[in-house]
Amino acid sequence: MVTETEELQVKEFLKRAEVKTMKKDLQALREVDALKERDKIAKIKTLEEQKLEQEKKLQEKERAKAQVEKTDRETVLEKGAAQEREAEKDLKEYATEQEKQQIFQFESERLNFEKEADAIDKEKGPGLKLQKNEILIQKKNWEAKLNSILSDEKKLEDEQGFIAQKAQQSVIGAEKKSLEQRRWDLDKEIQEVEKKRWEVEKQLENLENKVKEIDRSSDQLIEERNLLKQKILGVDKSLRGIYSVVIAREEEKRRGEATEQKLQKDIAAKSRTEQRERVQRQQWGNSAAREREMGRESLGGISAPAKARILETTKSEEKQREKFIQEVEGSLPVPPKKQ
């Protein structure tokens, strides 16, 4: 006859054997699930996802190309702006005192705007990027913790489901009770894991909110940078207006100086011409006087009619000389009167 102690030993042995069998079955179930998951992962990469990957690579390539083009444009603009600033320094010397004061005011405004833009580019913007990178690293670590917790939670739930199924199938009271106790223990473990998961999810939510806040701040900085660019362009436009007036005035002044120089040259040339003509008239007058004197001397022994003809010819030649001189003087341009 089997004693009560022997019966208990048999039940304990059966219980241990059942637990070992249950562990083996659970392990086999997990291996099957793992194989199924691997098969799913292997088949996940469909043609559509391959297409999405190609589109993503193409978009990244386009973004990189756009960034290079943007950098090239900014380099050209900066070079042009530097040349324009050099030209402004030369033009400033020809500005009036009032214009110089306006130029100084506009240049001061532009310098302040450029300092604010540089602060965004070199301090605020990079600072936000650094903060975001640090938060993303923290987020990645918390995501790894969450994945580990989710994995543990799934294992416990799978084991709990298996035990519940096993308990329903069991007809042995002691085994059924043992399985129910294990299921309750698993339920407590799952609750503890859920608490950990909630805490991690809360941390991830906080980090995600911080990332969104940094993104909003970055967008605001971009708007501020664009607004500063518009202000700088407005100042440059005002400066160009002033420098255009200076250039126009200097060009008009130089045209006037060129006209005055030409007029002075014309006056000097006319003066030299008149001087030569006076000398020539004087020379011609002296020559005519000498000829008349010589004619009188030579006409001493000539008859009266012959003398009259010679004198008449001399007077005719003098009248022709005077007419020639008058025609020359009349053909010369008259200089304009100064206003």
Q: In the prediction, which pLDDT does 339 show?
A: 43
- 56 and 184, same domain (yes or no): no
Residue 305: pLDDT above 50? yes
Q: In the prediction, which pLDDT does 34 show?
A: 62
In tens, the pLDDT along 183-196 reads 888 889 989 999 99
Asked if residue 70 belongs to a domain, the reply is: yes
Asked if residue 326 belongs to a domain, the reply is: no
Domain containing 182: what range?
101-260
Asked if residue 205 belongs to a domain, the reply is: yes
Asked if residue 160 belongs to a domain, the reply is: yes
Q: What is the domain count for the chain?
A: 3
Helical pair 47-92 and 173-298, crossing angle rounded to 10 deg:
30
Asked if residue 215 belongs to a domain, the reply is: yes
- 63 and 129, same domain (yes or no): no
Q: Examine the fold and report which residue of 236, 260, 284 is the final residue of a domain before the chain moves on.
A: 260
- Which range among 228-232, 311-315, 324-328 has the greatest average pLDDT? 228-232
Q: In the prediction, which pLDDT does 127 show?
A: 93
pTM: 0.50
For residue 240, the domain's CATH number is 1.10.287
Do 44 and 188 form a contact (C-beta atoms < 8 A)? Answer: no
Considering only CA atoms, which of 251, 240, 249 is closest in space to residue 102? 240
Tell me how far apart the alpha carbons of residues 190 and 158 are, in angstroms, rounded to a whole number. 11
- 142 and 168, same domain (yes or no): yes
Contacts of 328 (CB under 8 A, 6+ apart): 277
Tell me which of 36-50, 51-65, 145-159, 238-252 is least confident: 36-50
Q: For a pLDDT cut of 90, what percent of the chain falls above it?
A: 31
- 161 and 200, same domain (yes or no): yes
Residue 99: pLDDT above 80? yes
